[in-house]
Amino acid sequence: MIGLSKEVFSYIDSHAAQFVEDLKRLCRQPSVSTRNEGMRECASLVRDMMIESGVQCKEMPVPGGYPVFFGEVETHKSDKTLGFYNHYDVQPPEPLELWGSPPFSAEERDGKIYARGVSDNKGNLVARLKALEAIRASVGDLPVNLKFLVEGEEEIGSPHLFDFVKKNKAMLAADAYIWESGSKDPADRPEIRLGVKGILYVELKAKGAKSDLHSGKWAKLVVNPAWRLVWALNTLKNEKEEVLIDGFYDDVKKPTREEMTILRQTPFEGKKIKQELGIREFLGGKKGLEALKTNIFEPSCNICGFNSGYGGPGSKTVLPNKASVKMDIRLVADQDPDDIFTKLKKHLVKKGFGDIELEQVGFGYPPARTSPREQIVQIAVKTAREVYGKEPVLSWSTGSSPIYTVTRNLKVPVVGAGIDYIYCANHAPNENLRVKEDFIQGIKHIAAIIMMFGREQK
């Protein structure tokens, strides 16, 4: 297989310095979608870079949102099409004081580039464009048609993406899609991701008196909204980590035999992970395969934050008049966030907490899962094995991403293959990317996938 890509890899190596500068160029442009910081400027830069790479690029406005870019590169050598999904928006960089260099300076030190978005997701976007450049410059015409779907709202939940894809199914049609990222595990083995969990994010609010009160005078006579929320939360999950909402598990799809076979072959260094996390054991004392299966194939119900009353230094004997809690509920196939939201609302009413306001916050993603038998999965595995010189690991992300927008609308397989590594610090201070091990090798992997996908029969 590598013989097909020898010229391409040589081109990538000889142009590595320029590719790195192009990545820095994009990373130096802020694009924080949560507060519309630099989004217009970054969108223009993304368009320019796609065009520079030889992509026929079309900017498509999104009413009430940030523009989506559709890119296409056609060939006469194949009737197959491979799609790529990426996003150009990034998380806020705060807390700034924890960065070793300014988050949008794209400083390079110790073989790494440090910048907000360098890994999530600008590095992946640039790697794919550079793979395209390398193939065309070194061997001529592409072996497969390519399509690019690049949005600017992933970090705020992709609120417009599903409708966009649904409306433009013919334009976005492909035989398979490579999603925004992949990663490497603690042993630097490349991971090929077969799916993600879904998510429902909610906020519960309780109210009491019209203002905060003196706790000594009123704690025995006036409802405390913080206690109302505590009691309500106590009905949602027991000490065995079982969610108690009626019908919560009705649609949960158990892992197949094939998926369990893959899971048994998946490296899981539980002891090392616990040491790094600073914990003695996983919930329920789970170990090995049981812990891994639970984490990947079971849903969760998590409290993200609780806000009520006084939390400053010293004491303040106050009876708060309001309280709120934010929660994320991670879903697995075939659960649906709208269905779970309805069941949660009914549960609160049934348990006597109909007075608590329930609101869905931001977004909800259904889960997505791709069969390991799909051709694109096998190609991603074979090429990763050749490029990285290590046996790749098939895995499923425990995070959430809008993969369902493609799997549901376009009915094609989606696989994650990218340039992240376990210590890249996505969403955290000092987000970074190793230049040689991740960025340059990642370009080669994408190039190899394109070359092999174009030569394989449907």
> Which conformational region is residue 409 in: left (phi greater than 0), alpha (psi within -120 to 50 degrees), or beta?
alpha
- Mean pLDDT, the chain, integer: 95
Same-domain pairing of 210 and 102:
no
Q: Using the 3D structure, point to which of 320, 346, 365 is the last residue of a domain.
A: 365
**CATH number of the domain bearing residue 435:** 3.40.630.10
Which pair of tokens denotes residue 18? 């320029």
**CATH number of the domain bearing residue 333:** 3.30.70.360
Same-domain pairing of 87 and 214:
no
Query: What pLDDT sits at residue 185?
Result: 87
**Has residue 262 been placed in a domain?**
no
**Has residue 283 been placed in a domain?**
no
Same-domain pairing of 26 and 71:
yes
Residue 342 belongs to domain spanning: 200-252+298-365
224-235 pLDDT per residue, tens: 999 999 999 999
CA angle 426, 68, 135 (to 5 degrees): 75
Q: Using the 3D structure, point to which of 336, 365, 394 is the last residue of a domain.
A: 365
Q: Is 89 in contact with 152 (CB distance < 8 Å)?
A: yes
**Has residue 352 been placed in a domain?**
yes
Query: What pLDDT sits at residue 27?
Result: 98
Same-domain pairing of 359 and 377:
no
**Has residue 27 been placed in a domain?**
yes
Same-domain pairing of 186 and 208:
no
Query: What pLDDT sits at residue 422?
Result: 87
**Has residue 259 been placed in a domain?**
no
**Has residue 418 been placed in a domain?**
yes
Query: What pLDDT sits at residue 2?
Result: 52
Same-domain pairing of 188 and 40:
yes
Q: Using the 3D structure, point to which of 365, 384, 404 is the last residue of a domain.
A: 365
Same-domain pairing of 88 and 130:
yes
Same-domain pairing of 342 and 376:
no
Same-domain pairing of 207 and 177:
no
Q: Which residues of the chain are under the pLDDT cut of 50?
A: none
Least Cα distance to 420 among 189, 214, 223, 240 occurs for 189
Same-domain pairing of 204 and 342:
yes
Same-domain pairing of 398 and 451:
yes
Q: How many domains does the chain have?
A: 2
Query: What pLDDT sits at residue 458?
Result: 59
Same-domain pairing of 360 and 373:
no
Give pTM, 2 decimals.
0.90
239: amino acid identity, one letter? E
**Has residue 325 been placed in a domain?**
yes
Query: What pLDDT sits at residue 3?
Result: 56
**Has residue 293 been placed in a domain?**
no
Which pair of tokens denotes residue 185? 């595990």
270-283 pLDDT per residue, tens: 998 899 889 999 99
Least Cα distance to 31 among 114, 97, 112, 87 occurs for 87
Q: Is 281 in contact with 294 (CB distance < 8 Å)?
A: no
